[in-house]
A and B are shown apart, each in its own frame.
Chain A
Amino acid sequence: MGGSYFFFRSLFDGSCDPTDGPSGQWSDGVDTSALGASNDRPNPDLASLMRRIHIASLFALSGLALLSSCDIQAQAKERSYGLAEEYRFDKSNTIFLEDLPEGTDAPLMGALEMLCGTPAEPQLMLLEDWVDEGYDPNFPEYPVGDMGSGEISEDEMALIEEDNMRVFAVQLEAIAEGDYAGVVPFRGAPVLQAKWDDFLADALEDEDGDGAPDFVVEEDDSPNYVAVDSEELFREEAAMLLIGWYPRLVDSADLYRLECMHCHGNEGAGDGSTAPFLHPAPRNYQPGWFKWAAVENKAKPRRVDLYNILSEGAYTSAMPNFKRFSRAQLHGLVDYVRLLSIRGETERMLVLELDGGASLTPALISETYSDIWEQWNNADERVVHCEGDVPEPTAELLARGRELYMDANGGNCYSCHGDLGLGDGASAWEEVDGVSQRIVDDWGEEIIPRNLTSGIYRGGRRPIDIYRRISIGITGTPMPAVPDTLTEEDRWAIVHYVLSLSDVHDGVGLDSMRMRAAHADHSDEDHDSEGH
């Protein structure tokens, strides 16, 4: 208390020493004895010490402020990927890194780095066949045969370009006006930034010495390159640089570090710093299982599955939607998540082999890697859809749905989701050592069956999303697929019954009814029984 008083006072009266006033008084003449304070002079040593502490703490604070404005990402960028300590394969098989034969860490790390690079330079190794085919998954926007993977269709690229025009509107305007200094930095796109800087530096060079920039840009080796030699052409090419932008893995790794890493972890093992606080836990990409994909149980997801979960989020879990990112950025994150997943699964598979006594040979490494790639590249073959259109929910269909919902040999939904869909079925619990506990999923986490009356579906609420959920189950959890014996119509019956459970729930229907009642003459008797 006294310290800060001295410090601030000294700013105003020009004196830094509280002891230089008349005895028994503060230096501005207020008699402290009137305030009931001690008449003794303050201890000069203590006072000056306090003062120093305060000055020091002010310095420390401004130092902290300075530090926080520095780029603390720079340090993280240099980090390498690490190995997991624990590999959980299923409920009965967990391998610990420390149990592996001694001296396997380093070669394993080296192998993975060769396959997938480092966080600062993520890059997927090309398989031999790929080189011959001209296939390269590091460039999904280029066609196969042109050292790309052709995964981004022309239509999709057109949408990406449209979106880029919106995202880079400010920079594009500056370029169009010739205000090149006004091209503000591109956030989360270091490769694009470096490209633009080179491009601009090249263009502004004055080699013929006439005092004006030449606007000559060094040729690059891209197939549709146009020689740039005038300012007009330069502007056109510069605009194309931004509009046609597709993030490189380095760009996406940067964005991942900023937005995803704190939950999903540096290696995508779902072990980020905030992960312990979350339920459900953030996805661990390493087993290569993704809950909300439209493919068969435990099959690799398609790009569009990962794209959708990024853009829609897993509603009401800690995974938000990332629609605020551009289309290009989301595609880039899909690329990076796939890299992490492939790296992680390769690591797991190699650990399993090593644990079984195999040794780490180049053949084993590339075989494992290419097996995993094959699964990713064949994801389309394992997608679940149906032939007919979505039927209308007739009374008969709903009745059939209810029947299957309650049928232990049919949908068997009630056993976990409960008779009324409240998520309170008996099978969601198991007895362990005489204590009733919630059942767990393959990651070892407690499972709470969805309350189907809430109207919240993590994997999407379209009828086809629910159809897929009941046809696939949820990868890695006790939620199974319905038996193969159920026909498409049976499945739609369950879908419609499940969707009807949330009908007119959480006030939506009721409120809109109240609203409508004020404006129209609508009868809502048939919904009233469904309230809370």
Chain B
Amino acid sequence: MRLLVTLLLFLVPVLGVWTFWTAEENGWWMPETVTTYGPDIDYLFYLILWMVAFFFILTEGLLVWFVFKYSKKDDTKGVYSHGNHKLELLWTVVPGILLLVIAFSQMETWADIKYRGNLPKTPPIAHVWASQFDWRVQYPGADGEFGTWDDVESPHLFVVPSDEDVVFILHSRDVLHSFFVPAFRLKQDAVPGMAIPVWFNVDKAIDEEGAEDKEAIRLYDLICTELCGWGHYKMAGRVEVRSREKFDEWMAEQEANVMSNGKEDQS
């Protein structure tokens, strides 16, 4: 019985290690990244994963061993221990150092992606509005100005050009939402009352099935990653990446649609 229980418990770390060992080839992690800063995020992800993996194996190993060793039934009474000062120091200082390693190694990436001072010097392409349970993208339209009568509105679909810096402003109309495009390694909360500039640059032409084609129109999932209400699960959108030329084509179509006099309705 004792051995069986120990073995069962041992399955936990074994399965745990197996899942992250094989996750990449099974496609359980995120899709291949397509943005300029995606590889930096992946580097940090794996750095932390390996650190955690090491301690996971160590602590689970100890746990399993202790369960086996000390589950023996005998008449010995429990012993009160006041701890071991050196041991305490060790397991405080080592994680402390590791946290510092993490803190310092992420600083540059974080600053690059999130600091406003590092925003690409290009005017925003769109305002993205999150609301319960809808993503809506507002483009400036033919006059190039936001908030005017000829603005182009695109529900669900955020169309962007590839191979250039794209800046957009993220808003929420009601509660907290979070803009997450896994293939971009981009996640940003949308906060009511705040206008948050966000940027990315899609420089790799890989679609979610892994095919590579610069000319293709590529679609990526956009999901809300902040529990925002009963319909959170279906707050999905898509980011459509096109070459500059095809992006302009699409935009011209939308602008024409805004100018429609209703004689020829779209759809």
Whether A307 and B136, one on each chain, are in contact in the complex, defined by CB atoms closer than 8 angstroms, is: no
Taken residue by residue from 3 to 31, chain A's Cβ proximity to chain B (1 for < 8 Å, 0 otherwise) reads as 00000000111100000000000011111
Cβ distance A25 to chain B, nearest Cβ, rounded Å: 10
Least distance between B9 CB and chain A CB atoms (Å): 10
CB distance from A521 to the nearest CB of B (A): 13
Interface membership of A187, Cβ < 8 A: no
**Is A512 a contact partner of B147 (Cβ separation < 8 A)?**
yes
Interface residues of A in 346-397 (CB under 8 A from B): 383-390, 393
A323-B155, A323-B156, A324-B156 given; A515·B262 CB < 8 A? no
List the one stretch of B29-37, B93-101, B122-130 in contact with chain A.
B122-130
**A327 to chain B: closest residue by CB:** B267
The 8 A CB mask of A289-312 against B (1 = contact, 0 = none) is 000001000000010100110011
B261 x A512 contact (CB < 8 A): no
Which A residues lie within 8 Å of B260 (CB)? 390, 462, 464
Determine the chain B residues whose CB is within 8 A of the CB of A390 once the complex forms: 259-261
Name the CB-closest residue of B to A305.
B265
Closest to A468 in B: B262
A23 to chain B, nearest CB (A): 14
Does B85 have its Cβ within 8 Å of any Cβ on chain A?
Answer: no
B194 to chain A, nearest CB (A): 9
Docked-complex contact A30 and B78, CB < 8 angstroms? yes
Quick one: given A464-B261, A467-B262, are A28 and B121 in contact (CB under 8 Å)? no
**Complex alpha-carbon distance, A390 and B121, angstroms:** 34
Query: A171: shortest Cβ distance to chain B, in Å?
Result: 13
In the complex, whether B153 has a CB less than 8 A from a CB of chain A is: yes
Contact of B124 among A304, A307, A312, A512 (CB under 8 A): A512
- Asked whether A28 and B73 contact (CB < 8 A) given A509-B147, A511-B127, the answer is yes
Residue A463 lies at the interface, judged by CB distance under 8 Å to chain B: yes
A500 within 8 A of B: yes
Separation of A509 and B124 alpha carbons in the complex (Å): 12
Known: A315-B134, A462-B258. Is A507-B267 also a contact (CB below 8 A)? no
Q: A493-515, CB under 8 A of B: which get 1 and which 0?
A: 00010011011111111011001
Asked if B84 lies at the interface with its beta carbon under 8 angstroms from chain A, I say no
- Asked if B236 and A324 make an inter-chain contact with CB atoms under 8 angstroms apart, the answer reads yes
In whole Å, how far is A308's beta carbon from the nearest beta carbon of chain B? 6
* Measured CA separation A323–B237 after assembly (Å): 8
Q: Does B25 contact A (CB under 8 A)?
A: no
Residues of B within 8 A of A14 (CB): 1-2
A455 at the interface (CB under 8 A from B): yes
* Distance, CA A388 to CA B259, complexed state (A): 11
Determine which of A156, A294, A505 lies in contact with B262 in the assembled complex, contact meaning CB atoms within 8 Å: A294
B149 lies within 8 A of chain A by Cβ: yes
**B123: chain A residues within 8 A (beta carbon):** 512, 515-516, 519-520
Are B71 and A12 in contact, with the CB atoms below 8 A? yes
- Select from chain B the residue with minimum beta-carbon distance to A385: B262
* CB within 8 Å of B: which A393-450 residues: 393
Within the complex, the shortest CB–CB distance from A413 to chain B, in Å, comes to 17
Within 8 A of B (CB), among A458-504: 461-464, 467-468, 496, 499-500, 502-504
Q: A169-B209, A321-B156, A385-B262 are in contact. Are A508 and B267 (CB under 8 A)?
A: no
Report the bound CA distance from A323 to B147 in whole Å: 24
CB pair A320–B262 under 8 Å, yes or no, is no
Among A308, A385, A503, point to the contact of B261 (Cβ < 8 A).
Answer: A385
Tell me the smallest distance from the CB of A494 to a CB of chain B, in Å: 13
Q: Is A316 engaged at the interface, CB distance under 8 Å to the other chain? A: yes
Bound-state CA distance A231–B266 (Å) is 40
Asked if B59 is at the interface (CB within 8 A of a chain A CB), the reply is no
Q: Are B195 and A511 closer than 8 Å at their CB atoms?
A: yes
Query: Roughly how many angstroms separate A500 CA and B145 CA in the complex, as a whole number?
Result: 13
A503 to B150: give the CA distance in the assembly, Å: 10
> A307 to B266, alpha carbons, bound, how many Å?
10
Interface centre among B123, B146, B257, B259 (most CB of A within 10 A): B146
Whether the pair A386, B261 counts as a contact (CB closer than 8 A) is yes
Q: How far is the CB of B129 from chain A (nearest CB, A)?
A: 9
Complex partner residue of A307 from B2, B121, B259, B267, CB under 8 angstroms: B267
Closest to B171 in A: A507
A304's partner among B151, B156, B259, B265 (CB-CB below 8 A) is B265
Q: Is B234 an interface residue (CB 8 A)?
A: yes
A143 CB-CB contact with B under 8 Å: no
Task: Report if A117 contacts B (CB, 8 A).
Answer: no
A462 to B138, CA, bound (A): 12
- Cβ of B88 under 8 Å from chain A: no
- For B236, the chain A residues whose CB sits under 8 A away are 324
Chain A hits for B5, CB < 8 A? 11-12
B residues 100-147 in Cβ contact with A at 8 Å: 121-124, 127, 131, 133-134, 136, 138, 140, 145-147
Query: B73 contacts A502, CB within 8 Å?
Result: no
Q: Which residues of chain B are within 8 angstroms of A503 by Cβ–Cβ distance? A: 147-149
Question: Of the candidates B134, B146, B237, B267, which one forms a contact with A512 in the assembled complex, judged by CB atoms under 8 Å apart?
Answer: B146
Tell me if A461 and B153 are in contact (CB < 8 A): yes
Output the least CB separation between B232 and chain A (Å).
Answer: 12
CA separation between A82 and B59, bound complex, in Å?
A: 61
The reply on A272 being an interface residue by CB < 8 A is no
5 A-B contacts, Cβ less than 8 Å apart?
A315-B131, A323-B155, A468-B262, A504-B148, A507-B195
Interface residues of B (CB under 8 A from A): 1-2, 5, 71, 73-78, 121-124, 127, 131, 133-134, 136, 138, 140, 145-151, 153, 155-157, 167, 169, 171, 173, 195, 197, 209, 219, 231, 234, 236-238, 257-263, 265-267
Q: Which 3 pairs between the two chains have the least Cβ-Cβ distance?
A: A385-B262, A509-B147, A323-B156
A169-B209, A312-B155 known, 7 other contacts, Cβ within 8 Å: A12-B71, A315-B155, A320-B231, A323-B237, A383-B262, A500-B149, A503-B149
